[in-house]
Amino acid sequence: MPLSASDAVALPKVLLHDHLDGGLRPNTVFELADAIGYALPADTPEALSDWFIAGSELADLPRTLEMFDHTTAVMQRADHLERVAAEAVADLSADGVVYAEVRFAPEQHQADGLALDEVVEAVTAGFRRGEAEAAASGSSICVNAILCAMRTADRSLEIAQLVDALREWDDKVVAFDLAGAETGFGPSLHAEALAFARRTHQNITIHASEEPAHELIAEAIEYGAHRIGHGVRLQADIDRSPDGSIDVAAGALGPLARHVHDHQIHLEMAPTCHVQVGAVASFDQHPMAAMLRAGFNVGVNTDNRLMSGVSASSELAALSAAFELTDAECRQLQVNAAMASFAPRDQRLALAASM
């Protein structure tokens, strides 16, 4: 029986792929824009929410970039960053998330003169405030930070060095990521940063969701990714049966898919986003459930809650309804994410045991 909306919220969830600048409350965007005199493309928070969701469904990269221009515009002051971060924790906690890794690109928040470490300090202060407020209301949640370098810029080594420096005194900083436009901006362009991250034993996750098909996934693994951001185009290396299932024993996996499967490389799936960007034709054709049942290490994520109009619970409930996931399968998705998280091992084990 599919999970109801309330059951999906009640299930403790682990979220590994959520963008801070893609998850603001519409009301907050309006209030912060008014505070800095910034013009938005809609007249009300409700209309703004609709504008973001409509833009996501266009699979239009320039429109997508414009959407993030509007959210990052109101995230240039330390107090604004802290507020957005604290509200993200509150919203995730209310949705039944007990552990999350929220990512952002510090270089995108320097227009008003903040130093990179000041950006991160404001965000992690917001995470801590949100956690404390959740605890005061009887909820337990831990939110850590993944720092992204923009693939289209040349600051990736600087960001990798920032991760290395900050994790010495801020245990909220847990990993390095490459984000932004992918096609034509593969990990090889950031080889020096990724070599530094590997040499300094950083956790690494790399976005790989765009064309050319699974080549970006292969390159992410080559350059040291412990997890893959999205990874849905791995389906190009998988031969699914007519009923949509994956028969691993019958040779359904190509070399890359076999490697990902055998080494249990975690795939940070975000089904609604994958439909919106055109990586999957429709939600009911998404390969995630079949991959889960075939033994792939997959988890369910939101990517951008504001832009896609989703939550961790709504994505889980939609998957459950579309693919008749059992309670055990819904919980397995959370265990997968818990064990693939960049939390310390004892915390990962405790999270998995609580699912």
Q: In one letter, which amino acid is 84? A: V
**Which run of H or E residues covers position 305?**
helix 305-308
CB atoms within 10 A of CB 171: 13
- Paired strand residues for 299: 268
- Paired strand residues for 101: 144
121 is an active site residue: no
Taking the C-alpha atoms of residue 110 and residue 103, their distance in angstroms, rounded to an integer, is 16
The residue assigned the tokens 């076999």 is: 258
- Paired strand residues for 187: none
CB atoms within 10 A of CB 310: 24
Residue (of 123, 206, 130, 132) closest to 166 by Cα position: 123
Q: CB-hemisphere CA count at 13 Å for 163?
A: 32
**Catalytic residue of the set 82, 182, 210, 315:** 210
The CA radius of gyration of the chain, in Å to the nearest whole number, is 19
- Paired strand residues for 99: 14, 142
Contact 23, 306 (CB under 8 A): yes
- Paired strand residues for 266: 227
Instruction: State in Å, rounded, how far the first CA of the chain is from the last one.
Output: 19
The token pair that represents 254 in the structure block: 């190509």
Taking the C-alpha atoms of residue 142 and residue 54, their distance in angstroms, rounded to an integer, is 31
Taking the C-alpha atoms of residue 41 and residue 48, their distance in angstroms, rounded to an integer, is 7
Q: In one letter, which amino acid is 130? A: G
Taking the C-alpha atoms of residue 159 and residue 230, their distance in angstroms, rounded to an integer, is 21
Active site residues: 210
